[in-house]
Amino acid sequence: MPYFIFLVIFVVLPLLLILIYALQDGAGHFTLKNIAKFFSDGDSLSTFALSIEVAIENTALCILIGYPAAWILANKDLNRSAVTVVLFILPMWINALMRTLATAELFTMAGIQLGKGTLLFGMCYDYLPFMIYPIYNVLNKMDKSYAEAAQDLGATPGEVFRKVTLPLSMPGIMSGVMMVFMPTVSTFAISEFLTNNKIKLFGTIIQENINNSMWNYGAALSLIMLIIIGITTFLQGGDSEEAVSGGAI
């Protein structure tokens, strides 16, 4: 099957190469030095911790802002037009770097110092559609009769939401988290623009190492990231693609 061969060459082999390069020194000998270097390098470690922190905050922010929006969009009483939904995903079609630059410029114009606050705002701005869309999809396809039944059986609106709607929309939230969390850890250009290079995220140091021909250390950093992706995917159970695949537009 040709696609199998394609996937092996362009997906499996490259990932194996990350592992191989991570465990080699410049001359091609086996070594654990690259991994050890990461754990003994204060800069890398603090960048890593900061990236995870920003990613967690950004993901939480996206859920807090995005969930109500998705809920309103999916509610037939509150929103009857499909155009509003299109308006929410439309910014994704504009070059992300250009939008980010404009956001940073807006902050500067408003006299707000570029730093962690602007970083979070800008990240949230960039990734919000990726959170809203899967949640909206799940809520939209959800069988409304469950919520109605709970209501008939005497649940208050708050209870209906907590015990029926929210649990049923978990797959949407999970795939939203997938689409926001890891990309936040790994962005490089966006964080550079939004903080005027003051704050480095993990993606930036991977990029710097690879571009300065320090492939082995760059690969080691990528490997650490891969391990985290593996862990989050495993925790999440991996059946999130249903929410994403529900139509492209």
Partner 1 sequence: MMKTSTKLLSRIYIWLILIILYAPIVFIAVFSFTEAKSLGNWTGFSMNLYKNLFTGSMQNSSALLSAVENTLLIALIASLLATMLGTVAAIGIYNMKGRAKNVMTFLNNIPMINPDIITGVSLFLLFVFLRISQGYTTVILAHITFCTPYVVLNVLPKLSQMNPNIYEAALDLGATPGQALRKVMIPALRPGMISGFILSFTMSLDDFAVTFFTRGTIGLDTLSTYIYADARKGGLTPELKPLMTILFLIILVVLLVINIRQSKNNDKK
Residues 134-163 that bind partner 1 (CB under 8 A): none
27 makes contact with partner 1 (CB under 8 A): no
How many whole angstroms separate alpha carbon 13 and alpha carbon 126?
31
Tell me the closest approach of the beta carbon of residue 195 to partner 1, in angstroms: 13
178 makes contact with partner 1 (CB under 8 A): yes
Interface with partner 1 by CB under 8 A: which range of 45-53, 133-141, 163-171, 221-229? 221-229
Closer by beta carbon to partner 1, 42 or else 111: 111
Angle (CA) 36 197 225, round 5°: 35
Closer by beta carbon to partner 1, 13 or else 56: 13
Q: What is the dihedral of CA 107, 109, 112, 115, to 10 degrees?
A: 50
83 makes contact with partner 1 (CB under 8 A): yes
Angle (CA) 183 184 187, round 5°: 75
Of 67, 125, 130, 217, the one binding partner 1 by CB under 8 A: 125
How many whole angstroms separate alpha carbon 165 and alpha carbon 147?
7
Q: Is the dihedral of CA 196, 201, 205, 211 positive or negative?
A: negative
Output the CA–CA distances (angstroms, integers) from residue 41 to 198, 218, 219, in the order listed: 19, 14, 16
Of 65, 120, 142, 214, the one binding partner 1 by CB under 8 A: 65
Tell me the closest approach of the beta carbon of residue 37 to partner 1, in angstroms: 17
234 makes contact with partner 1 (CB under 8 A): no
Tell me the closest approach of the beta carbon of residue 18 to partner 1, in angstroms: 5
86 makes contact with partner 1 (CB under 8 A): yes
60 makes contact with partner 1 (CB under 8 A): no
Residue 55's Cβ-count burial label (10 Å; 0-12, 13-18, 19+) is buried
